[in-house]
Structure 1
């Protein structure tokens, strides 16, 4: 190394002086030194804490609660319960499900979102922040008591106050608040209390609306059921599919590119598109006719029910809106007083993974917001002009409190990220209960092990049975040569979340078996005995058929004598005629070898005496 210069030795000190002044030491009010860990000059200093917090460990929950309350806490030992694993682990019985649904109905009014405290222009920022922290702490305490006292499971709602502050600002600025929900389970993603809060903020002047995204996964009849249900709830609803719109935009871009290269081909595409539009107009005419017939029947049904407030304008339509139709719908849906006379402000609110960002991007025809299934991707609300008279206000994705039956429900609905799950068995068990065996076999081209003798032949497959067959078929094997069930579970669960394994829940007024039906088996039935022996062994772990157990039991012959008390006598054996005879090998084996030294002499004499006789 070269010789150190005077300037080189002081380089670090000079950098410190340039950043902190002539001295790096800092003092507090009482003239004492400030520790380096207390210097608020790091990368995160001055930045909002906008990392989404939905699921916390018990320790982190204690820390955050103590921080919000400004108090200390004492740690206590938690009660530990050992659960024996079962084949149907993580699922509730039919009786338990009915009991939990009753509890949900009784306590639905306690399922709230945090409210922003009242404030005026004279309220200081410190007082408002203190009031917000106190209200937020009380809200979290009420939900925790509800879960503890009633033993009710709910979604791991957002526990970062900064995200709720973003929602408050969106609600205050918007004329219409649109809740974007997943078409496969709209009621799980709908927050009724958010609709109440919107009405409270504006004294009923702001409008609530539900946009059912991913509606291409539903049939026309299923969309009609939901349109009638939300009609009865008194809330405007529209059906949309961001995925279909994005695919259509890609096709139009490719067609425009092709038109520039080949005009004749573009003309043919134009004629085909015109024919498709004519067919669509015919379908719309049929749909309007059905709506007219239904409108004549509807008053008879409503006369038997409690009258609910009706909405101004037309009834909800089950029509799947295109991009331009949805823009026109948003332009004319609101006729009340606006925050701005120049445009209507549409607030977009929704859970992560319901397609909120994809919906905005499809409306804007370009990527304006980042798309992610993980909470917290969108940090702050942002405003985007869709048209000169339509302003979109995008709120960060929020996991709001909602009742669920099991944690597996949240995984299948995309509320919890699959890549971070710790136990895949309950979620896959629930998937197997919802998706029939023949659909799984047709989808993946596999053969799932049939139930054993004595079991219900029509029962759904267990998690292990599906994942063993899937893992072997895909070549997902562990180091010990067995199918990798954890890796297989992630693929299967993501197929369910993405809609490749389709299961849609209907409104409460419709029987589920009639609402969602599955197609018949498409592939030929293959018996398990027809598969290669290696695949048969891989499909079953620690499971033997009754025939194998019988062969194993009856072919083994006893080779020792069984009497009351001790059964291991090395010096005797069982003869063919059933009598006991002396075993020479037992005497020669020196049975006293493992006995203590002080007893060896006596045992030698004893066994020598037996040999003489």
Structure 2
């Protein structure tokens, strides 16, 4: 047996580096491998004849792991440094209740649009269509940049720059008959882009349903006010409050972490969504199978539902058709035909972390698609048959161009918290609208004049024991991320109000629709499940969590403590 040639660690690292560059396409494909390769053979795929880099038909197709990732622009280094100094120096003052009011016109003003798919035909090749879409997307970015320069109203908030994700939206809009725009009930003004709603209702001529999701994180009176505002601004759209798993009303203080997932039949809102779709379809599609499915779900118990979910998960089959990355999303889809083959297609679209996948799971009645607290979990659209006559389509979340404060995007869970370089300004934005020191029960600051955003982060790091690895100092960065995650998860509930809510607060609290929302909160109980009463408006309370709530200083229930004395260790805030 011949003796192997020596191969140093440095040469091995260089070889791995070149392989990574070739996979990403950063380095040209050489005819031979590294000169110091052990075998001296060619790399896989290099034996093929040389190709023309300018010819897209002969360009090699490689797997790109970053193809569907969120690509949001961030601030510059100078802006980050300025925000950091402000968080350390400026005192945080609690603003009046009117500061919680948010006007949608300040978020999506004139001149802000979203990229549209250019006209195409089956005569185009995939390469021609791909090039046309890239050119149209470049024109959109240039027009948005020029509009921003003419207005002089400041920079546009970070939005999606990944064309592959926009292609997913285009396909869902083309193949769907009714669009379900999923909005977060805590801040609907951020989750309802007027350009998208106008494009669906006027340009495409399709039905639009606004699902006011996560109602359990907003007071019923606020949800009612938002519902009336959305109906007034979008008369052709239906508004359906939704909840994946109703919970008990919130108590003062930091909310306890709830169990997520499972028990999808407790959702409140599928009946109202069925009625909205029936009014849009108008008898052109037979939706009796959907109604029968909801009646069966209301009749069976929760234990039977969990057993059935386990059996379906083990069988991994049934009425589900998941469309993942098998087809090229740039290729032209099947020509749209309204209610093709008598099937109603519902497309779930919206911003990241709005709960699109949770709504789909609640409608299907099981964990059909994966969900996560971090935005960007769904990277490509998936289709699932609810019944033989109803098909659901889950679209990745997109961040539309807007003038929303970046801190609001972070608190809404739109911007990934793990990618933040400067989280302290978002903590200051939250502390000016919620009494964070009281909610988190922090020690008084050393500065007698008041709290700063940096002081709040350091106090929370000291309470939680977050220390840096080298100097064992309070890890303010980790503490800031922890606070922001509490807000994104709804444990620190920042619920924005529609404009003029403070002046009409008593009116909305005594509104009949508010009482109807509160009454439908009990629809999620197993003994009370069933069709909603005719006089009820729609549901309240959402987001796949069930359990009790307690403030940070309250003790756990005695029964759970007796069963497990270490149960409190599982209630970590981060």
| TM superposition score normalised by structure 2 | 0.60
Q: Is the 8 A contact 1:348 1:395 kept in 2?
A: yes
Give the structure 2 partner of residue 190 of structure 1: 192
**2:481 pairs with 1:490:** yes
C-alpha separation between the residues in 1 aligned to 2:107 and 2:426?
27
Q: Is the 8 A contact 2:264 2:362 kept in 1?
A: no
**2:349 pairs with 1:359:** no
Counterparts in 2 of 1:58 and 1:80: CA distance versus 1, 3 Å? closer
Written as runs of structure 1 = structure 2, the 5 A alignment for 1:556-595 is none
C-alpha separation between the residues in 2 aligned to 1:229 and 1:509?
11
Secondary structure at 2:500 match in 1: coil
Question: How far off is 1:172 after superposition?
Answer: 1.2
Unpaired runs of 5+ residues, structure 2, are 6-36, 248-257, 285-337, 510-550, 555-574
Counterparts in 2 of 1:187 and 1:173: CA distance versus 1, 3 Å? same
Secondary structure at 1:180 match in 2: strand
Give the structure 1 partner of residue 381 of structure 2: 381
Q: Is the 8 A contact 1:345 1:393 kept in 2?
A: yes
Summarize deviations over 1:74-122 as a string: whole Å, max 9, x none. Answer: xxxx99997892346599999xx99xx9996598231111111223344
Q: Is the 8 A contact 1:146 1:152 kept in 2?
A: no
C-alpha separation between the residues in 2 aligned to 1:50 and 1:82?
32
C-alpha separation between the residues in 1 aligned to 2:463 and 2:278?
53
C-alpha separation between the residues in 2 aligned to 1:25 and 1:116?
36
Question: How far off is 1:491 after superposition?
Answer: 1.3
C-alpha separation between the residues in 2 aligned to 1:211 and 1:159?
26
Q: Is the 8 A contact 1:88 1:429 kept in 2?
A: no
Give the structure 2 partner of residue 547 of structure 1: none
Structure with more relative contact order (C-alpha pairs < 8 Å, separation 6 or more): 2
Summarize deviations over 1:226-264 as a string: whole Å, max 9, x none. Answer: 2221221213111112243997985699xxxxxxxxxxx
Unpaired runs of 5+ residues, structure 1, are 60-77, 254-319, 525-613
Question: How far off is 1:327 after superposition?
Answer: 5.2
Give the structure 2 partner of residue 140 of structure 1: 141
Summarize deviations over 1:544-589 as a string: whole Å, max 9, x none. Answer: xxxxxxxxxxxxxxxxxxxxxxxxxxxxxxxxxxxxxxxxxxxxxx
Written as runs of structure 1 = structure 2, the 5 A alignment for 1:418-429 is 418-429=417-428
C-alpha separation between the residues in 2 aligned to 1:477 and 1:189?
36
Secondary structure at 2:340 match in 1: coil
Counterparts in 2 of 1:134 and 1:82: CA distance versus 1, 3 Å? same
Secondary structure at 2:478 match in 1: helix
Q: Is the 8 A contact 1:379 1:396 kept in 2?
A: yes
Q: Is the 8 A contact 2:80 2:421 kept in 1?
A: no
**2:491 pairs with 1:500:** yes
Q: Is the 8 A contact 1:155 1:399 kept in 2?
A: no
Secondary structure at 2:348 match in 1: strand
Q: Is the 8 A contact 1:53 1:159 kept in 2?
A: yes
Summarize deviations over 1:50-89 as a string: whole Å, max 9, x none. Answer: 3331226889xxxxxxxxxxxxxxxxxx999978923465
Written as runs of structure 1 = structure 2, the 5 A alignment for 1:121-520 is 121-149=122-150, 150-202=152-204, 204=205, 206-233=206-233, 234=235, 235-244=237-246, 250=262, 322=268, 324-326=270-272, 328-329=274-275, 331-335=277-281, 338-405=338-405, 407-437=406-436, 440-441=437-438, 443-449=439-445, 452=448, 455=449, 461-478=451-468, 479-480=470-471, 482-511=473-502, 514=505
C-alpha separation between the residues in 2 aligned to 1:128 and 1:90?
54
Secondary structure at 2:425 match in 1: helix
Larger deviation: 180-189 or 160-169? 160-169
The alignment's C-alpha RMSD in Å is 4.4
Higher helix share goes to which structure?
A: 1
Tell me the matched-pair count: 406
Counterparts in 2 of 1:489 and 1:365: CA distance versus 1, 3 Å? same
Q: Is the 8 A contact 1:210 1:236 kept in 2?
A: yes
Question: How far off is 1:342 after superposition?
Answer: 2.0
Q: Is the 8 A contact 1:505 1:512 kept in 2?
A: no
Give the structure 2 partner of residue 600 of structure 1: none
Q: Is the 8 A contact 1:91 1:426 kept in 2?
A: no
Question: How far off is 1:374 after superposition?
Answer: 4.4
Secondary structure at 2:161 match in 1: coil
Counterparts in 2 of 1:190 and 1:512: CA distance versus 1, 3 Å? farther
